[in-house]
């Protein structure tokens, strides 16, 4: 499966800060896809989105997944898309 790295970065658009966009453009396409699809902990999602965990749960609960009985997370691409 071929993934166009530039297309993914364009899809994420202006929500991705330049340093992150530069790092994403350097990844091989398969690895980029894997990185964007992985689950980030809520602490990491807070940093990626610049929103608090409470705001993520309240405003974007549809994107928060229960990973285990006591652990929640969010896909990296969702956290990056929320960056404002």
Q: What is the pLDDT of residues 56-69, one digit of tens each?
A: 999 999 999 999 99
* Structural domain for 71, as ranges: 5-81
Q: What's phi and psi for 74, nearest 5 deg? A: -145, 145
Domain count, the chain: 1
Q: 65: closest CA among 45, 35, 36?
A: 45
> Cα–chain-centroid distance for residue 78?
4
String of DSSP letters for 41-60: EHHHHHHHHTS-HHHHHHHS
State both tokens at 32: 């980029």
Question: Does residue 76 or residue 24 have the better pLDDT?
Answer: 76
Q: Identify the band that residue 80 occupies on the pLDDT scale cut at 50, 70 and 90.
A: confident
pTM score of the predicted model: 0.69
- Any idea what DSSP says for residue 30? H
Report the pLDDT value the prediction gives residue 82, as an integer from 0 to 100. Answer: 85
- Any idea what DSSP says for residue 38? S
**Could you report the per-residue pLDDT of 37-62, keeping only the tens digit for each?**
999 999 999 998 999 999 999 999 99
- Any idea what DSSP says for residue 69? T
Q: Identify the band that residue 26 occupies on the pLDDT scale cut at 50, 70 and 90.
A: confident
């Amino acid at each position: 499966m071929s993934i166009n790295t530039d297309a993914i970065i364009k899809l994420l658009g202006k929500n991705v800060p330049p340093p992150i966009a530069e790092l994403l453009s350097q990844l091989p396409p398969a690895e980029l896809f894997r990185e964007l699809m992985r689950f980030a902990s809520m602490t990491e999602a807070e940093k990626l989105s610049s929103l608090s965990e409470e705001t993520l749960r309240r405003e974007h609960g549809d994107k928060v997944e229960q990973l285990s009985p006591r652990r929640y997370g969010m896909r990296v691409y969702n956290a990056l898309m929320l960056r404002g």
